[in-house]
Structure 1
Amino acid sequence: MNIKRVNIKNFTVFDDFELNLSSGINIIIGKNGTGKTHLLKGLYTVCDSINNETKYTSTYQNLISQLYFKVNPFDLVRDKSKKDKIISSVSITYSEKSYSRYLIIKVGENQLAEDGSMHKEVDFHINNIFIPATEILSHSKGFLALNNKYDMPFDKTYVDIITNAELPESKNISEIDKKILNIISKVINGEVVYENDNFYIVKKDGSKIDFSIEAEGIRKFALLWKLIRNGLIDNETILFWDEPEANINPELMPILVDILIELQRCNVQVFLATHSYNFAKYFEVKRNSNDKVLFHSLYKVEQGIKCQSEENFGDLKNNSIIEADTKLLDEVIEGNFEE
């Protein structure tokens, strides 16, 4: 089930925000502080709450704000000026009749009435994956045990990605998955195994490399390999990935783009937040006429955050990435003239 639209009200940097989404690839850009990560995490929170039936309880650790954001729920409220009733929400529309919503409701002075989710006409589960910007598998040894015992400073996205990576491999692999796994195996020069509470890349020469000493860019490809091999990224999966290009060698970016476009062709809905011109532009260059790719540029206004969406990266008027590249080019040209 794809996400068709999101509406966010009075939540972090968002005042009254609505965005129509592609059923294929959604590339989200914007300056720091425009809510790219909050948008991805909000979408994941609502989708994940469907599967986990996360409801408000009196236990602080079980509040959605604590599980997914590790903050007091009132810290997520944008406008706290009202003294009577304050509502913050992230709403997702799947069809005309089907939606789900994450709500924070404050009544009275610092009194929480709701920090949970609600659904309407939702009779399905959602296979969703969130890959955080910070690579975590290299620190996974004993992580889940410690997290279950202590109040660790990591939100549920980190717990979930380790849990998903540690799952056993799927017995059945589709032909398209085999193709993608082979592409990734060439990049990482091997395959990923999980043994003795630790992740390794078994290289083609038989050597076993601990995740912690492998290059981070390679670890990102390796994580993707493991998620696909575990059967977690497949038909109708929703994949959220925060800054996938970070620490990846520029020559590997087009390979990653090819993989993500191929996943989109397998009915995987993809949400990516990026600061990279090359990474974003490759989607425009490499897609074909049947591929569904939409670029979303978040920008600040007095009322909060607005968004412009275009099928072509260069058509975005509020394009902070191109603005930064243009500024650099101007400085290079100016410096050459001074010489």
Structure 2
Amino acid sequence: MLKRMAIKNLTVFPEANLHFAKHLNIVVGENGAGKTHLLKMAYCVLAVSWEEGRKPINSAPTKAALQGRLAEKLVNVFRPEALGRLARRKQGRERCDIELRFSNKELDIDFSFATNSKSEVTLERAPKKWLEVAPAYLPTRELLTIYPNFVSVYDGHYLEFEETWRDTSLLLGKPLARGPKEKRINELLAPLEEAMGGSIELDRNGRFYLKNASGRLEMPLVAEGIRKLAMLARLIATGALLDKGYLFWDEPEANLNPRLVKKIARSIVALSAAGIQVFIATHSLFLLRELEMLLAESEPDVIKARFFALESTADGVLVTQGDSLDEVGEIAALDEELAQSDRYLHGVNS
């Protein structure tokens, strides 16, 4: 479990110390407030640890091994012109400092880089072991329609796509999980397959299909909202989202109608209860309300949640955090939706 992430001078953030919940973590803010940057920073560190640990010949983590790999991952995921562009720019030369703390202290890591850094971070604390499970990052765009040959093309050419697309495509292509895990997987899949009207199938040519009683439907012919559900279903079916894993999901509600958003909210809560530490970024009042209602229905202490509100100021983005949406105060992105509801009701009733 990732317990805490402290950042200083990261892009739009002067400083923040985020304390995460064991199960569900929700980052809320307007577009441009840095929601995605927080998810990507945490993801990059976890992904590098897992990728290095699964190499055929690996030793214990060292500063020499990690300094270049962390920088490479940050550049490939954030896509700046140079690593130093991720450091918040102020007068003079500044450093960006990152600290991650885990329930297993052997995974703790501290590193930094300056505004003129290009290809290496400075590691102040190296972990003593590698992460044993792969983190999953779901971008706002679905990936099933571009999956055929995407990884091979990405590895063989320079493409202006962030590396999370490649990482997630690798997880989507894993074989289906078999054995004792199948019962729990089927329980998590059932509501998603009901919402999709079928199950997801990957053929030998690397093409995904929606399979139902009428046959198979090519993924490009499936509605985009259903394709987003299908990505989540596939990661569950392969076992990637099972047994103390990590899920980062950027705007789960994007391109979904309210009915499907409700299904997504229920799946997010179910995954959290199953032991996945979930991090989502959103500015959807509808999704937040669904999550709050589902959390209220759950047994006390079964699902621990944490909310993070981002507010843009003249001095940068400030982070307020609490165990409920009420504790983080007013959020501009949500206030606009509430104000619109008030205007509509006033107009109808006048």
TM superposition score normalised by structure 2: 0.86
1:141 aligned partner:
148
Q: Is the 8 A contact 1:299 1:318 kept in 2?
A: no
- Identity percentage over the alignment? 25
Q: CA 1:315/1:161 → structure 2, altered by over 3 Å: closer, same or farther? A: same
2:57 aligned partner:
none
Q: Answer yes or no: is 1:328 the counterpart of 2:340.
A: yes
Q: CA 1:201/1:102 → structure 2, altered by over 3 Å: closer, same or farther? A: farther
Mapped to 1, the partners of 2:284 and 2:4 lie a distance apart of: 25
Deviations 1:192-216 (A, max 9, x none): 11121211111232x2111111111
Q: Which shows bigger deviation, 183-192 or 304-313?
A: 304-313
Mapped to 2, the partners of 1:194 and 1:260 lie a distance apart of: 24
AA aligned opposite 2:121: D
AA aligned opposite 1:159: R
Q: Answer yes or no: is 1:29 the counterpart of 2:35.
A: no
Q: Deviation of residue 56 (structure 1)? A: 4.3
Mapped to 1, the partners of 2:161 and 2:97 lie a distance apart of: 23
Q: Is the 8 A contact 1:296 1:308 kept in 2?
A: yes
AA aligned opposite 1:32: N
Deviations 1:74-114 (A, max 9, x none): 2211125324xx421332110484412453245xxx46472
2:290 aligned partner:
282
2:59 aligned partner:
none
Q: Deviation of residue 302 (structure 1)? A: 3.5
Q: Deviation of residue 34 (structure 1)? A: 1.3
Mapped to 2, the partners of 1:8 and 1:202 lie a distance apart of: 45
1:212 aligned partner:
220
Mapped to 1, the partners of 2:122 and 2:224 lie a distance apart of: 35
Q: Deviation of residue 318 (structure 1)? A: 2.8
Mapped to 1, the partners of 2:257 and 2:342 lie a distance apart of: 25
Deviations 1:143-165 (A, max 9, x none): 11211111001111000111110
2:315 aligned partner:
303
Q: Answer yes or no: is 1:82 the counterpart of 2:88.
A: no
Q: Is the 8 A contact 2:200 2:210 kept in 1?
A: yes
Alignment gaps of 5+ in structure 1:
none
1:180-191 pair list within 5 angstroms: 180-191=188-199
Q: Answer yes or no: is 1:168 the counterpart of 2:175.
A: yes
Q: CA 1:314/1:80 → structure 2, altered by over 3 Å: closer, same or farther? A: closer
Deviations 1:220-273 (A, max 9, x none): 111111101111000111100001111122012222222221211111100011
Q: Deviation of residue 136 (structure 1)? A: 1.9
1:238 aligned partner:
246
* Structure 1 SS opposite 2:120: strand
Mapped to 2, the partners of 1:97 and 1:208 lie a distance apart of: 47
Mapped to 2, the partners of 1:294 and 1:325 lie a distance apart of: 22
Q: CA 1:78/1:278 → structure 2, altered by over 3 Å: closer, same or farther? A: same
* Structure 2 SS opposite 1:162: helix
2:305 aligned partner:
293
Mapped to 1, the partners of 2:222 and 2:18 lie a distance apart of: 38
AA aligned opposite 1:6: M
Q: CA 1:309/1:115 → structure 2, altered by over 3 Å: closer, same or farther? A: same
Q: Deviation of residue 6 (structure 1)? A: 0.7
Q: Deviation of residue 292 (structure 1)? A: 1.3
AA aligned opposite 2:113: I
* Structure 1 SS opposite 2:45: helix
Q: CA 1:202/1:101 → structure 2, altered by over 3 Å: closer, same or farther? A: farther
Mapped to 2, the partners of 1:97 and 1:332 lie a distance apart of: 52
* Structure 2 SS opposite 1:15: strand
TM superposition score normalised by structure 1: 0.89
Aligned residues: 329
Q: Which shows bigger deviation, 220-229 or 167-176?
A: 167-176
Q: Is the 8 A contact 2:72 2:119 kept in 1?
A: no
